[in-house]
Amino acid sequence: MQKETTVTDSIAIDGPGAVGKTTVGRILALRLGWLFLDTGAMYRAITLAVQQKRIDTERNESSVVLLAEESGIQLTQNGSGAPRIFLDGLDVTDAIKSAEVERQVSFVSRIGGVRSAMVKKQQEMAMRGKIIMAGRDIGTVVMPGAKLKFFLTGTSEIRADRRFKEMYAASGAQTPAEVLADLIRRDKLDSEREISPLKPAHDAILVDTTNLTLDQVVDKLFQYCRERKLASSGK
C-alpha cells in the first residue's frame, strides 16, 4: 500500500480491540519519554465524520475516501499522556467512543482508499522518530521497519469485559453480551478484510494479556525496550 518507513526509534503495538493497546502504549511512551499515537482513534474520527455527513459507506465509497483524504486530524496528549483527538479543529475524543462509531468503524476502515489516506498520515507522523504507534496494521504496513513490534492478544471474554467497564458500564448504552458480540464481529471483519488484515508481523513479539495486570504488560514490554537499547537501565 505504502512504501516502507524505517524509523530506528519506533515501536509498533498491534492487536484486536480492547486488548489494552492504547493504555499500554500511552504508559510505555511516558516511561520512555516518547510520543504515542493511537491510530485506531483516527479511523474512529473518520467514521464519526461519515456518520455526521450521513454518507452511505456501501453505495458511496468515493465520498468516504475523499472525506478521509481531506479531513484534518490532529492527535495531542497532555502532561499525563492522556490522548485527545481533534477532527477539523473540534475535540471529538469523547464522541468517537460511542456505540454507533464502534459498530461502523470496521466497515469504514476496510475501505482501501481510507486506509491509504490514514497510513500516509501515520507514516508522516512516524518520521518524527521516538514514537509508539498502536493499531491493527502498524508492524505489517505502517511501520514495517519499526525497531520493536508487539502483538497483544487476549480472550474475547476478557477483552469484552474490559471494554464494557471502560465505556458502557456507567451509561448502559450496551449490555455486556452486546459488547462481546460486537467485539467478536469486529475481530472477524478485521482479520478477514483483504486490505491490511489484522495479523502479527512475522517478527512481532506476541504477548498474551489475558492473565496479566496492566502493570505486568507494561513491565514486560519495557524489558524488551531495555534489551533493544531503547530505554536506559535506570528507568
Closest listed residue to residue 90, CA positions, set 77, 103, 71, 104 = 71
Q: What percent of the chain has pLDDT over 90?
A: 78
224 confidence band (pLDDT: 50, 70, 90): very high
Each residue's pLDDT tens digit, 55-78: 999 899 999 999 999 999 998 877
Q: CA nearest 135: which of 11, 2, 9?
A: 11
> Between vectors from CA 19 to CA 140 and to CA 43, what angle results, nearest 5°?
60
Residue 199 backbone dihedrals phi, psi, to 5 degrees: -165, 155
Concatenate the DSSP letters of all residues of 24-87 into one string.
Answer: HHHHHHHHHT-EEEEHHHHHHHHHHHHHHTT--TTT-HHHHHHHHHH--EEEEE-TT--EEEEE
Helix (H, G, I), strand (E, B) or coil at 133: strand
> Rounded distance, CA 211 to CA 111, Å?
34
Residue 25 has pLDDT above 70, yes or no: yes
* Contact (CB, 8 A) for 190 and 136: yes
Q: What is the mean pLDDT of residues 213-226?
A: 97
Residue 212, pLDDT score: 96
> What is the b/e burial string over 58-90, where b = at least 16 CB atoms within 10 angstroms of the residue's CB?
eeebeebbebbeebebebebeeebebebebeee
Q: What is the pLDDT of residue 69?
A: 97
Helix-strand-coil split of the chain, %, nearest 5: 50, 15, 35
Residue 2: predicted pLDDT: 45
Mean pLDDT over 135-139 rounds to: 96
Question: How far apart, in Å, are the Cα atoms of 22 and each of 18, 26, 58, 135, 184?
Answer: 9, 6, 29, 8, 19
pLDDT higher than 60, residue 5: no
Class of domain 10-225: alpha beta
Is pLDDT larger for residue 234 or for residue 82? 82
pLDDT of residue 121: 93
Query: How far is residue 202's CA from residue 196's CA, in Å, rounded to a whole number?
Result: 14
Contact 83, 36 (CB under 8 A): yes
Domain extent listing, the chain:
10-225
Instruction: Using the predicted structure, report yes or no on whether residue 46 has a pLDDT greater than 80.
Output: yes
Res. 209: pLDDT tops 70? yes
For residue 187, what pLDDT is reported? 94
Output the pLDDT for position 44: 96
pLDDT at 98 > cutoff 80: yes
Quick one: pLDDT at residue 168? 87
Q: How many other CB atoms are there within 10 angstroms of residue 223's CB atom?
A: 11
pLDDT one-digit tens code per residue, 121-131: 999 989 888 99
Q: Which of 73-82, 103-112, 117-126, 193-202 has the lowest mean pLDDT?
A: 73-82
Residue 1 has pLDDT above 70, yes or no: no
- The pTM assigned to this predicted structure is 0.89
Does residue 139 surpass a pLDDT of 90? yes
